[in-house]
Amino acid sequence: MRLLIAEDDALLRAGLKLLLESEGFDVVGSWDNADDLLAAFAPGSADGAVLDVRMPPTFTNEGLRAALELRSRVPDFPVLVLSAYVEDRYASRLLASGAQGVGYLLKERVGNVGEFVDGLRRVAAGGTVMDPEVIAQLFSRRSSQDPVRALTPREFEVLGLVAEGLGNTAIASAISVSETAVSKHIGNIFAKLGLAQSDSGHRRVLATLAYLRS
């Protein structure tokens, strides 16, 4: 998989490049700002991108805006956005850009190579990966009227794992139940959130959006 990197911290940028290449990825370009990445990008030139949220010149949301621009040029282009802090509004905006190939992780996840690379591979395969800390913070702010509050503790646990990007087999392993039980829980979640089969979009992503919505 050919990757692009945009990260203003030179040490982290070099470290990401070495780490990803050691895991079999091909880093075809790396920059210290989003504008240069976008200027160099052409459809077909890469298969995904890893971007810092905050970069020059304003250090606000340059990486997020670049991720959204990449996905506007190439629908569902895989992007994994890294942040030093939990900024859930960015996670929600990224998810709203499409149903496939998006990820939002805290930079501390890079230190756990296996977890980081697994998340990146899931994003590259069209999955959705959200940092568990983002999910936890958003849930703590929910109102009593939020439909997610209607979920049982087990259904909420399953939805959290769905939001992290896990498939049914991985969820079943994580909570020590059968895949049939996971499928039943997910069906109940969809029903309680009002997500009918006729809804446009991917229901797992729509459920994740409901989960992340503040």
Residue pair 123/165 in contact (Cβ under 8 Å)? The answer is yes
Sign of dihedral through CA atoms 7, 38, 19, 99? positive
> pTM of this prediction?
0.70
Strand partners, 48: 3
pLDDT value at position 2?
96
pLDDT value at position 108?
86
pLDDT value at position 78?
95
Cα–Cα distance for residue pair 213/138, rounded to 1 Å: 7
Q: What is the dihedral of CA 53, 57, 60, 61, to 10 degrees?
A: -50
Supply 15's token pair: 């470290």
Which candidate, 15, 40, 30, 97, places its Cα nearest to that of 64? Answer: 97
pLDDT value at position 200?
46
Cα–Cα distance for residue pair 137/44, rounded to 1 Å: 37
Could you read off the pLDDT tens digit of each residue along the chain, which spans 214 residues?
Answer: 999 999 999 999 999 999 999 999 999 999 999 999 999 999 999 999 999 999 999 998 899 999 999 999 999 899 999 988 877 667 677 777 665 788 889 888 888 898 899 989 999 988 888 888 877 766 666 555 677 778 888 898 898 888 777 889 999 998 999 999 999 999 999 888 888 775 544 788 778 777 665 4
Type of residue at 52: D
- DSSP for 67-128 reads HHHHHHHSTT--EEEEESS--HHHHHHHHTT-SSSEEEEEGGGGGSHHHHHHHHHHHHTT-E
Cα–Cα distance for residue pair 179/190, rounded to 1 Å: 16
pLDDT value at position 42?
94
pLDDT value at position 214?
41
Cα–Cα distance for residue pair 127/105, rounded to 1 Å: 14
Cα–Cα distance for residue pair 30/3, rounded to 1 Å: 9
pLDDT value at position 145?
63
